[in-house]
C-alpha cells in the first residue's frame, strides 16, 4: 500500500515538476550564498504637470432652472419697485 501512495504522488507532481523544484532550490541556495538579492522596486513614476484643457472653466454659478427663474423674478420684482 505504501507503493501506491508513492506512485500517486509522483504522478500528481510529475517528474518535470520535481526536477524543476530541485533545480530552483539549488539555484536559490547558490544565489543566497553569492549574496544576490532581489532588485529594488522602481520608484513610482511622477506624472508631468497636467496641461490645461482647451476650454477654461467659467466662474459663474450654476443654478437649477427653477431656482434661477425664481431669482430672476425676485430681481425683476425688486427692480420694478
17 or 53: which leads in pLDDT: 17
* pTM of the shown model: 0.32
Provide the grid cell at 36. Answer: 544576490
State pLDDT tens for residues 28-61.
888 888 887 777 788 888 877 777 778 877 777 7
Strand residues in 1-81 grouped as ranges (E)? none
Amino acid at each position: 500500500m505504501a507503493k501506491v501512495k508513492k506512485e500517486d504522488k509522483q504522478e500528481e507532481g510529475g517528474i518535470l515538476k520535481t526536477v524543476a523544484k530541485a533545480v530552483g532550490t539549488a539555484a536559490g541556495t547558490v544565489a543566497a550564498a553569492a549574496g544576490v538579492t532581489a532588485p529594488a522596486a522602481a520608484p513610482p513614476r511622477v506624472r508631468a504637470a497636467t496641461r490645461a484643457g482647451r476650454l477654461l472653466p467659467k466662474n459663474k454659478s450654476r443654478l437649477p432652472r427653477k431656482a434661477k427663474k425664481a431669482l430672476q423674478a425676485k430681481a425683476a420684482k425688486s427692480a420694478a419697485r
